[in-house]
Structure 1
Amino acid sequence: MSMPRTKSLQDDRFRLIWAFLLWEGHVGNARLRQVLDLETVQVSRLLTAFNDAYPGVTSADRATKRYVYTGREAPKDVALPSLEEYLAIIDRADAAGPWLNTQISFAPRPDPWMFASVQAACSARSGLKITYASLNSPDGSERTIYPHAIASMGSRWIIRAWCGQKGRHVDFLLDRVLSLSPVAGPDKVLPADDLWSQTVDLRLRAHDAHQENFAKLVQRHYFNGLKTARRTLRKALVPYYLQEMRIAVDPEKELPPAFQLQLINPDAVRGLLFPALSSR
């Protein structure tokens, strides 16, 4: 009976390795020890066993002491871990990189290679040359960006990065990145991204236009029955949160049923809204 359990345990650990390779683009001894209660020697043996079982899947990067995913397809009997499984793994072990924000997520599954490339750039503080589709350039235009964070907000994955063309920190939607390739890091120290490092407290309540009985229903649904709630967000993510949650900033113009909630402290978000909203 011990052999099946050992085999199952090894399969589970191999699955962890697959998760890191697929969604981070590489795996190393130190990274695995963040999620496994194993010693360095044990993890080294595990990585050796994985590479023996799946030859050609990784290549050794001696400079960083990591194994890099080559992109080789997994065998047909290997069900690759989903993004949700990867996020659950790092969440349980409190092992998410400081650049990864998954505060709110029902975003579509991103391309694993692109997701891993952005994470790698954040971790290494390097850059990416991307072709990016925007409203002004729907067919895509080339940008050189230096990402430092990737965040899930509602239906979107957002890359927070310094844009070489605009000369400031801006947001890029991951699903609009048509292609990317790694480039070296910036040749100078970039300014701090205050909108990412600073937070703001949003105070919320049911929309004033609701009748009392419906307001109580909204309170139970969103606030566990409380009359108000407080949410602390990075300033850069505020407009996405307000849009996804349909929170009225101007309750006289933004009415139910499109808006069920309203912001009690709209002054706190002045200058943080999307252009179409901040012009009011």
Structure 2
Amino acid sequence: MFKPTFLGWLFIFSLYYQGGIFLGARTMRKDDLLRYQLIEVILLWEGRLTARHLTDYFSISRPSAQKSITDYKELNPTAFARNNSEKGHIAVAGFEPLFISSDFAQYQQFFAAQPESDSPLHFAIELLPVPLRNVTPEWVRPILLAIKQSLRLDIGYLSLSSPDYEDRIIQPHSIVFDGFRYHVRGFCEKNQDFRDFVLSRFNGEFVFEGAATHTAADDLLWQTWLDVVICPDQRLALKQRQCIEFDYQMQDGKKVIRTRAALLNYLLQRLRVDIYQTDAQSQQIIIEPECRKALSPYLNR
């Protein structure tokens, strides 16, 4: 039976736990919400929805799947129309989902890396394998609890400058994913400053040390927002620059990305503009020169 991937479930539950969805005087059931999200993903990215999408994904009966489609139609009456010649429900032009965003990564998270199947849900997108970091639930739980309850946390941490675990008292306020690994952002009592800690380098041995005295509101770099302006490498030919502009949806040859100052260097690494390439086609995009000057106080911090 065709099943969603772990990333698919993670995405679904992350949407659900962002807050309850209320319709009139009743709260939507979780099962209904999950089905509506799948309906929207299929309509938005494939354009044609059938009951089998739901029966295969959730292992439910066809009548139950049809009911979910009918109920969704009542919530979003102009979302799709029945097309008998195509034996399915076809998304209307300009379809706007209610329960998901328009980010294609969400479609990937639902269905990528599935085993070969005759299911209509199967498609050929592969995710690159990445090395697994040493992250366990037992190590993450105290950090999450400290964040949620604003606690000081005495915990062992391994750094490049300290090859043996040493006790650190930190006051964490956020967890950040940089596209490759997780970081814990919080106040470090050893350095008397807000720092980033690689989540996989904690050893899990911890003691709570009372209420935190520093929160996210005190983290100046966390509270400071920056506009990162990227543009095509001017060494490229005009047609090549236009290709880059189209690819990144630039307007007037520029794209503005808003980020926290504390996350600036992670963003630049992700965009691969932290290192200047001698070959223009390898570089492709750069930070707009005036923007780089404005960002200079925050680089490599």
Counterpart of 1:102 in structure 2 is: none
| Alpha carbons 1:118, 1:150 under 8 Å: kept | no
**1:129 lines up with 2:129 in the alignment:** no
Separation in 1 of the partners of 2:287 and 2:167? 38
**1:120 lines up with 2:145 in the alignment:** yes
Counterpart of 2:15 in structure 1 is: 91
Separation in 2 of the partners of 1:110 and 1:254? 37
Kindly provide the CA deviation profile for residues 137-159 of structure 1, in whole angstroms up to 9, marking residues without a partner as x.
23332211110011111212111
How many pairs align? 186
**1:269 lines up with 2:193 in the alignment:** no
1:110 offset after TM fit, Å? 3.8
Structure-2 change in CA distance of 1:192 and 1:272 (3 Å): same
Secondary structure class of the residue paired with 2:178: strand
Kindly provide the CA deviation profile for residues 201-228 of structure 1, in whole angstroms up to 9, marking residues without a partner as x.
1111112222222222322332368731
Separation in 1 of the partners of 2:278 and 2:144? 37
Matched AA of 1:156: R
Separation in 1 of the partners of 2:222 and 2:192? 16
**1:233 lines up with 2:259 in the alignment:** yes
Counterpart of 1:26 in structure 2 is: none
1:244 offset after TM fit, Å? 1.6
Structure-2 change in CA distance of 1:228 and 1:184 (3 Å): same
Aligned-residue CA RMSD (Å): 3.4
Counterpart of 1:146 in structure 2 is: 171
1:168 offset after TM fit, Å? 0.8
| Alpha carbons 2:182, 2:198 under 8 Å: kept | yes
Structure-2 change in CA distance of 1:124 and 1:92 (3 Å): same
Kindly provide the CA deviation profile for residues 171-215 of structure 1, in whole angstroms up to 9, marking residues without a partner as x.
111122233424133474568101111211111111222222222
| Aligned residue runs from structure 1 range 205-224, under 5 A | 205-223=231-249
Please tell me whether Structure 1 or Structure 2 has the larger radius of gyration of its CA atoms.
2
Taking structure 2 as the reference length, what is the TM-score of the superposition? 0.53
1:86 offset after TM fit, Å? 3.2
Give the share of equivalent positions with the same residue, in percent.
22
Taking structure 1 as the reference length, what is the TM-score of the superposition? 0.56
Secondary structure class of the residue paired with 1:166: coil
> Tell me, which stretches of 5 or more residues in structure 2 are unaligned?
21-130
The counterpart of 1:194, out of the listed 213, 220, 237, is 220
1:114 offset after TM fit, Å? 2.8
Separation in 2 of the partners of 1:135 and 1:198? 28
